[in-house]
């Protein structure tokens, strides 16, 4: 994973069932969310864990890519996180998800 970077929503309210309910609510809107994001996301319910996550893996590089590439990787991470937040926000805030 050192050669990749990611932007993700990590769902952990402290309550396993609530986390799974939130994840399932978002997953039911997967197509709309991915369309708003502009690409495919990884939907990880993490059955054996308390938490869940929705993430976007970037192939531009990661920690092992060399410090000279870090500014571009960081820019890509910020841009991806902004898109992810924008795509998810309408489905999280005040929606009862």
List pLDDT tens digits, range 12-54. Answer: 999 999 999 999 999 999 999 999 999 999 999 999 999 999 9
Contact predicate 60/76, CB 8 Å = yes
58-68 pLDDT, tens digit per residue, is: 877 766 677 88
pLDDT (average), residues 70-77? 87
- How does 10-36 read in b/e, with b if 16+ C-beta sit within 10 Å? ebeeeeeeebbbbbeebeebeeebbeb
CA separation, residue 26 to residues 16, 32, 62, 83 (Å): 16, 10, 28, 16
DSSP letter, residue 2: T
């Amino acid at each position: 994973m050192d050669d990749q970077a990611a932007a993700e929503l990590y769902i952990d309210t402290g309550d396993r069932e609530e986390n799974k309910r939130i994840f399932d609510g978002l997953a039911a809107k997967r197509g709309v969310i991915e369309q708003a994001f502009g690409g495919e996301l990884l939907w990880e319910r993490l059955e054996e864990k308390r938490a869940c996550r929705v993430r976007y893996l970037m192939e531009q590089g990661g920690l092992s890519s060399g410090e000279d590439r870090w500014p571009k990787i960081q820019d890509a991470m910020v841009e991806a996180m902004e898109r992810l937040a924008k795509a998810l926000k309408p489905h999280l805030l005040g929606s009862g998800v």
